[in-house]
Structure 1
Amino acid sequence: MIGMNVRYDEVLDPLRQAYDTGAAWRDGVTKDPWKLGERQAFRDRLAPGARLLEVGAGTGHDSLFFQQEGLAVVAADLSPEMVERCRAKGVDAHVMDFLHLDFPAGSFDAVYAMNCLLHVPNRDLPTVLAAIRTILRPGGLLFVGVYGGESAEGPLDGDQHVPPRFFSWRTDEQLIGFATAAGFEVADFHPVDTGRGHRFQSLTLTATAATPTAGGGE
């Protein structure tokens, strides 16, 4: 188990290497029906033509879905291999990590973050959420989907990626606490039983116009 003082910039290179190596395999994975349901539910909240940023976009399957639904989509991922696969699908994609989201303030109506913020250590999650909130317009929506339910940080036992990836699992209260401290209001929260022994936390947030408080839900 990695110590609780790990920082995001320390896990970036191993994550990038793991996802670069696994890009081809991930591009061929069929999405579980519950993931498709979560994605559609978020789409249904968005106005026609909404401008959406997908962070941690992977190979771009979700970004392509949103684009085909008529949204103006931009994708970002820390893995150059993943970004190339997004671009091959006709998606406007950029190599960026969460601490370097180089977009103007208020430039998106929505941000979609499926199974990527679980790679951000708790120490840096307040900064990452604040960065996402900055690029959202007031009233914009953020979808955060992560595995969790218990509080722990470190590599996943039996991770098939090389090198093993860092994960941060959070209780429901921790996750919601981080979000509200960063200037978001909870529009919806529900857990999902994935059927594979993993508990998925589905959180849809609204960016407020208020100044976020310092700190987070640590």
Structure 2
Amino acid sequence: MQNPGDPTLAFYAKEANAYADWSGKDRNVENLETFTGLLPPGARVLELGCGGGHDSRLLMDRGFHVLPTDGSPEMAREAERRLGHPVRVMRFMELDEQTAFDGVWANASLLHAPRAELAAILQRIHSALRSDGIFFATFKEGNGEGQDSLGRHFNFPSHDWLLEQFDLQPWARLNMQRRTSNGYDGIDVSLITVWVRR
């Protein structure tokens, strides 16, 4: 996310409870189930942008050691309350672990990162993963940075631009797919899902 005081952080500060409730309803966990199937037993997982903590809860219930994080202090507190587990308040560019995680889960979070920072963030994620580690992320497809109808910042990458950012790191395997999704604002969007292995 961007600097303190920006509209995206202000949105999540105001909507933390309602957003956590919404994100826990009628959830499609197909990608998360695939992710868990690619991890070794007892894997250490970093969640970037945990929101209400629902995905971290599922990962913990499967026996994984999870570090949930969120850039919004209010969302982090909401997730802590729901998880009964500490949540680190951390912006993407503050990630500095080295070969610490078997998996990184970034569902509907990196789509808020400024385009100018995304390549550096992906480099930090690459460094934080152990050899053969799995990374999953989603992005709202578009043609350049902008705000949604709720005032939140999105990087809105094209498929080709996003591929260029990932190609800056030596990932062992990369797979990108498109699907339609309906967001918190109720608007259907084209979502790019990204699977990579370090």
RMSD, aligned CA = 1.9
How far 1:31 moved relative to its partner?
4.2
Alignment of 1:154-165 (within 5 A): 154-156=146-148, 158-159=149-150, 164-165=151-152
Aligned partners of 1:60 and 1:91 also within 8 Å = no
Aligned partners of 1:63 and 1:91 also within 8 Å = no
Aligned partners of 2:108 and 2:138 also within 8 Å = yes
**Matching of residue 133 in structure 1 with residue 118 in structure 2:** no
Matched position secondary structure for 1:124: helix
CA change 1:198–1:83 in 2 (3 A) is: same
Aligned partners of 1:64 and 1:91 also within 8 Å = no
Instruction: Give the letter aligned to residue 55 of structure 2.
Output: D
TM-score by length of 1: 0.80
CA change 1:11–1:67 in 2 (3 A) is: same
What stretches of structure 2 of length at least 5 have no aligned partner? none
Distance 2:115 2:172 in 1: 19
Distance 1:54 1:73 in 2: 7
Instruction: Give the letter aligned to residue 193 of structure 2.
Output: S
Matched position secondary structure for 1:70: coil
Deviation by residue 1:131-186 (Cα, 9 ceiling, x = unmatched) = 111111122111011221x3121111x21xxxx21111111122122112133243
Alignment of 1:39-58 (within 5 A): 39-58=32-51
Distance 1:176 1:185 in 2: 14
Partner of 1:215: none
Partner of 2:17: 24
Distance 1:11 1:166 in 2: 13
Matched position secondary structure for 2:167: helix
Partner of 1:188: 175
Distance 1:9 1:26 in 2: 19
Partner of 1:210: none
Distance 2:137 2:46 in 1: 13
What stretches of structure 1 of length at least 5 have no aligned partner? 1-7, 208-218
Alignment of 1:1-218 (within 5 A): 9-10=2-3, 13-29=6-22, 30-33=24-27, 35-88=28-81, 89-102=83-96, 104-148=97-141, 150-156=142-148, 158-159=149-150, 164-194=151-181, 197-207=188-198
Aligned partners of 2:92 and 2:121 also within 8 Å = yes
CA change 1:154–1:42 in 2 (3 A) is: same
Distance 2:135 2:194 in 1: 8
Identity of aligned residues (%): 28
